[in-house]
Structure 1
Amino acid sequence: MSETTKPNNRLLAALPVKEYKLLLPKLEEISLTHAETIYEPDDVIRHVYFLNRGMAWLLTRVTKGNLLEVGVVGNEGVVGLPVFLGVKTSSNHVIAQGNGTALRIKTKDFLKECERGGSLPKLLQRFTHALLMQTSQTVACTRFHLIKERLACLLLAMHDQTEADKFQITQEFLSNLLGVRREAVSKAATNLQQNGLIGYSRGKVSILNRAGLEAAACCCYSIIKEEYKKLFENSDRS
């Protein structure tokens, strides 16, 4: 990537030009494939990823063989945040959703850039806050909101992050993300489909009525979206 090419990752794009130019030689552009594992629990975090396209699920294991979504990262942030907080290993399964791209940096180089000071650590602090807020909101959502509402939230997040009207995801994986039985996901998806909000066939979801899907979602979607909007307020590149 050249110095004149603006990164699609919003956190990198928010850096002052001089700081981004110093970071750029250490960034490696890579491709991510659908369902690719980025980290498993207890993996040493050897690279940090600034996502350009696509998204990554942050998953925690709740029972043997079952995973639950606790967060999602797209081009507004970074995957590998624990090293910024002084933790060398991942506590989550981190899995790519859809085919995407990222700018990867070695952990030792990432930490050196953070130690340099400037805007990067400040933006990472704000992103950490937003991610923690997202996680806490997801916990509340899991406890209090209907499966149909939660599914609508999840699909809206995928629509935002992948920037595609159609994406690949199975009902089995959706049931893991939501922490419910597959039959419950099937019932919720059928309801959304019958109302003309989505199409679902052979593990592929199509967004047919974005406004209707937003109306079907619980308040958590707008709360989380607003929090990430604050992340980049007053942080334009200079």
Structure 2
Amino acid sequence: MPVSYLNRAASNRLLASLPAAALDRMLPHLSLVSIATGETLYQAGTAQPYVYFPVSGAVVLSYVGGATHADISVVGNEGVIGIPLFLNGAVSPCRAVVRDAGSAYRISTHRLTAEFNRAGQPLRVFLAYARALTAQMAQTAVCNGAATIERDLCAACGHANTCPLAGRLLT
């Protein structure tokens, strides 16, 4: 294995966790691209040609419903942007916007879907990541739903869960 192979694999932890044979098949199809703050990598409900493996920077996944949206996850070099795209090859229910500029490896949704469908270890790695990301999204949803106006105001002025104005612990 050439050194460049090892360096490229190590730059994204999910890619680095793949077996060498799977990464060998994917490597010629990965291209390193810059991602700029505010750039939309994909919109909810639209077909997207690429999946992204961040190397640096961070991408926010937001659920978009009607006139509202909620940030549900942040993905960095530990993961992949576009899980729904290679799970069903169609569209994502989320929007992905770059929060912190950086770079990412990009691969066509079609190519990654083909690798995913080969089964074996790469399939298990991607499914384990999808399970962890789903758990993070669920936890974020619970935390967002549990927020109260009092807690938000006290946190904004630096008092965490204790409100000196109310003289009590906020629950």
Asked if Structure 1 and Structure 2 have the same fold, meaning a TM-score greater than 0.5 normalized by the shorter chain, the answer is: yes
AA aligned to 1:55 is A
AA aligned to 2:44 is P
User: Any stretches of 5+ residues in structure 1 without a counterpart?
Assistant: 150-183, 193-238
More strand by share: 2
AA aligned to 1:39 is Y
TM superposition score normalised by structure 2: 0.80
**Counterpart secondary structure, 1:30:** strand
**Counterpart secondary structure, 1:139:** helix
Are positions 1:188 and 2:152 aligned together? no
- Tell me which residue corresponds to 1:77: 79
Q: Offset of 1:18 from its aligned partner?
A: 2.8
- Tell me which residue corresponds to 1:56: 59
- Tell me which residue corresponds to 1:7: 10
CA pair 63-83 structure 1, distance change in 2 beyond 3 A = closer
- Tell me which residue corresponds to 2:169: none
Return the index of the structure with the highest Cα Rg.
Answer: 2
**Counterpart secondary structure, 2:6:** coil
- 1:45-86 Cα distance to aligned partner (Å, 9 max, x none): 21011111111111123452x421122211111111112321
- Tell me which residue corresponds to 1:36: 39
Q: Offset of 1:102 from its aligned partner?
A: 0.5
Matches within 5 A, 1:164-183: none
TM superposition score normalised by structure 1: 0.59
- Tell me which residue corresponds to 1:127: 129
AA aligned to 1:32 is I
Tell me how far apart the structure 1 counterparts of residues 10 and 149 of structure 2 sit (CA, whole Å).
Answer: 36
- Tell me which residue corresponds to 2:166: none
Tell me how far apart the structure 1 counterparts of residues 76 and 156 of structure 2 sit (CA, whole Å).
Answer: 24
Tell me how far apart the structure 1 counterparts of residues 150 and 131 of structure 2 sit (CA, whole Å).
Answer: 28
Say if 1:148 and 1:189, in contact at 8 Å, map to a contact too.
Answer: no
CA pair 145-108 structure 1, distance change in 2 beyond 3 A = same
- 1:182-231 Cα distance to aligned partner (Å, 9 max, x none): xx57x634427xxxxxxxxxxxxxxxxxxxxxxxxxxxxxxxxxxxxxxx
Determine which of 18, 24, 27 is the counterpart of 1:24: 27
The percentage of counterpart residues that share the same residue type is 31
Say if 2:44 and 2:64, in contact at 8 Å, map to a contact too.
Answer: no
Tell me how far apart the structure 2 counterparts of residues 75 and 39 of structure 1 sit (CA, whole Å).
Answer: 18
More helix by share: 1
Task: Give the ranges of 4+ consecutive aligned residues of structure 1 lying more than 6 Å apart after TM superposition.
Answer: none
Count of residues in correspondence between the two structures: 157
Determine which of 85, 88, 94 is the counterpart of 1:86: 88
**Counterpart secondary structure, 2:119:** coil
Say if 2:86 and 2:110, in contact at 8 Å, map to a contact too.
Answer: no
**Counterpart secondary structure, 2:10:** coil
Name the Cα RMSD after superposition: 2.5
CA pair 90-103 structure 1, distance change in 2 beyond 3 A = same
Q: Offset of 1:128 from its aligned partner?
A: 1.1
